[in-house]
Structure 1
Amino acid sequence: MTAPPISGRADADRPQPPHPSRSRVVRDALGVGVAVGLSGFAFGVTSAGAGLTVLQSCLLSLLVFTGASQFALVSALGSGGSPFAAAAGAFFLGARNAFYGLRLSQLLRLPAGLRPLAAQWVIDETSAVALAQRDRSRARLGFTVTGASLYALWNLTTLGGALGASALGDPAAWGLDAAGPAVFLALLAPMVKGRTERSVAALAVLLALAALPLLPAGVPVLVAALAAPLVLAATRRGRDGRGGRAGQAGTASGEAGR
């Protein structure tokens, strides 16, 4: 009887797919940068509708540069929320970028002098493109092209949206005050895939709606953030319960077989 091949050796013997060409990495990165960068126009319109000046809108895109946090901030301000509550909601949404940074620092291994600059581009899109590559060189290329194109276009379209909204007058009269929530939902919808994600989203909506008439504007968003730990705790408890019942059933069947 022939012994089965060692899995690691078998994997090594299999033909590996070729590395994507550098031109393909650039093309994919530009596609992501352009597609997402155009959303800056909606942010500029929303920011102007919330009462921010063109300069303030542009500074947010230049210095914050994370779409979900920016939309959350101006939406809370536009609905009358306090600056503290608006900033807290934006902070919690942007905190995920710190975890991206931990992973990318090991993958990219950029020189120390470039790391503070690269940190500004650590967002969902640049992380996704970089992590999809199979070697460090292409990961760096994908990260750089995505970050540069997205940063440039996002800031240009923010300026265009803010100027356009200012020229139109009162954004609420044109229904542009709804642009922020609509785009925010469009950004989140593709992420709601599994059962756990759907449960978190549903509970977050219920918590926000329940808190809306009771708490100041901007605070219901923070309350909705409790949905994630509540659902995860319930899921873990359910798994532990099923594991305990399975163990008891196994013990009972063993006793019955003696």
Structure 2
Amino acid sequence: MRSIWRTLDRALARDIGLVCLADCLVGVSYGAIAVGSGFPVWAPMVMSLLVFAGASQFMFVGIVAAGGNPFAAVLAGLLVNTRHLPFGFAIGDVFGKRWGARLAGSHLMSDETVAFALAQDEVRRRRAAYWACGLGIFVCWNAGVLVGAFAGSAISDTDVFGLDAAFPAVLLALVLPSLRDKAARLPVLLGVLAALVATPFLPAGLPVLLALVGVLAGAAAREPKPQPAPEPEPQEAC
């Protein structure tokens, strides 16, 4: 654990701290929404500890609060979290080879932790950024949910405070630096376009999955084109 904090420089630690603070505010929003929607105080806290997936937790609460089937809400949450499959392939080197570390790292996986890890050039810094961000968000998220759950009756209308905008604002701030790379702009634009077109027609959460077409387009664009075989040099006659 000490090696993780020694690897982080001041700027990276500051950025991780700001993201943790923003996620704490989103956790307050989630706890307040859950309790204000009729869930008992303990429900959002248990979900945050065992599930630890903000988008899926918000979706579950929203579907059940609207009268939907809890099993359908669970299935929708699992569908939203399928994006973690490509995440795992992209950052598998940060977990090491021990199964305990892999299980813990998988539980701490989120959009923010993956973004911070992929932004680092060295494996050592990738590992430090991932674990520092993951542990920090886990603590801050659950602390925020605890506060929001007990204060749900007071701040049940999160639109008044704008807390529901903190999560997308954090993700936007993480993505913007990547747009300096021309190769990254096409996947981002295609993903945004697919999500915007699908939003009026599909349930919440599914348009985000459709945005993965941008990833496929980016992977196809980065595939090296086959080079023509070099022509054999003419051999001199003996």
Out of 190, 197, 200, the position equivalent to 2:191 is 197
Runs of 4+ aligned structure 1 residues displaced above 3 Å come to 175-195, 224-227
Residue 72 of structure 2 corresponds to residue 78 of structure 1: no
Q: Please state how far the C-alpha of 1:29 moved relative to its aligned partner.
A: 2.4
Q: Distance in 2 between matches of 1:184 and 1:73?
A: 19
Q: Distance in 1 between matches of 2:171 and 2:134?
A: 23
1:96-245 aligned at under 5 Å gives the runs: 96-166=83-153, 168=154, 171=156, 175-176=157-158, 182-183=164-165, 186=168, 190=172, 194-208=188-202, 220-221=203-204, 225=207, 228=210
Q: Please state how far the C-alpha of 1:59 moved relative to its aligned partner.
A: 0.7
Identity fraction in percent: 28
Q: Are the aligned partners of 1:43 and 1:180 in contact in 2 as well (CA < 8 Å)?
A: no
- Tell me the residue number matched to 1:216: none
- Tell me the residue number matched to 2:8: 22
Q: How many residues align?
A: 196
Q: Please state how far the C-alpha of 1:32 moved relative to its aligned partner.
A: 2.2
- Tell me the residue number matched to 1:39: 26
Q: Distance in 1 between matches of 2:163 and 2:19?
A: 22
Letter in 1 for 2:13: V
- Tell me the residue number matched to 1:213: none
**Residues 47/137 of structure 1: CA separation in 2 closer, same or farther (3 Å cut):** same
Q: Distance in 1 between matches of 2:130 and 2:208?
A: 32
**Residues 29/186 of structure 1: CA separation in 2 closer, same or farther (3 Å cut):** closer
Q: Deviations over 1:223-254 (max 9, x none)?
A: x559939x88xx9xxxxxxxxxxxxxxxxxxx
Q: Distance in 2 between matches of 1:185 and 1:127?
A: 15
Q: Are the aligned partners of 1:30 and 1:145 in contact in 2 as well (CA < 8 Å)?
A: no
Q: Deviations over 1:124-152 (max 9, x none)?
A: 11111111111121111111111111100
What secondary structure, in the 3-state scheme, does the structure 2 residue paired with 1:201 have? helix
Letter in 2 for 1:134: D
- Tell me the residue number matched to 1:16: none
Q: Distance in 1 between matches of 2:208 and 2:148?
A: 33
- Tell me the residue number matched to 1:48: 35
Q: Deviations over 1:205-228 (max 9, x none)?
A: 3314xxxxxxxxxxx447x55993
Q: Are the aligned partners of 2:29 and 2:163 in contact in 1 as well (CA < 8 Å)?
A: no
- Tell me the residue number matched to 1:238: none
Letter in 2 for 1:106: D
Structure 2: segments with no counterpart, 5+ residues:
1-6, 177-184, 218-238
Q: Are the aligned partners of 2:199 and 2:207 in contact in 1 as well (CA < 8 Å)?
A: no
**Residues 106/206 of structure 1: CA separation in 2 closer, same or farther (3 Å cut):** same
Q: Please state how far the C-alpha of 1:180 moved relative to its aligned partner.
A: 10
**Residues 135/64 of structure 1: CA separation in 2 closer, same or farther (3 Å cut):** same
Q: Are the aligned partners of 1:70 and 1:90 in contact in 2 as well (CA < 8 Å)?
A: yes
Q: Distance in 1 between matches of 2:73 and 2:163?
A: 14
What's the TM-score, normalizing by structure 1?
A: 0.64
Q: Distance in 2 between matches of 1:127 and 1:37?
A: 18
| Structure of higher CA gyration radius | 1
Out of 54, 73, 88, the position equivalent to 1:67 is 54
**Residues 70/97 of structure 1: CA separation in 2 closer, same or farther (3 Å cut):** same
Q: Are the aligned partners of 1:204 and 1:225 in contact in 2 as well (CA < 8 Å)?
A: yes
What secondary structure, in the 3-state scheme, does the structure 2 residue paired with 1:130 have? helix
What's the TM-score, normalizing by structure 2?
A: 0.69
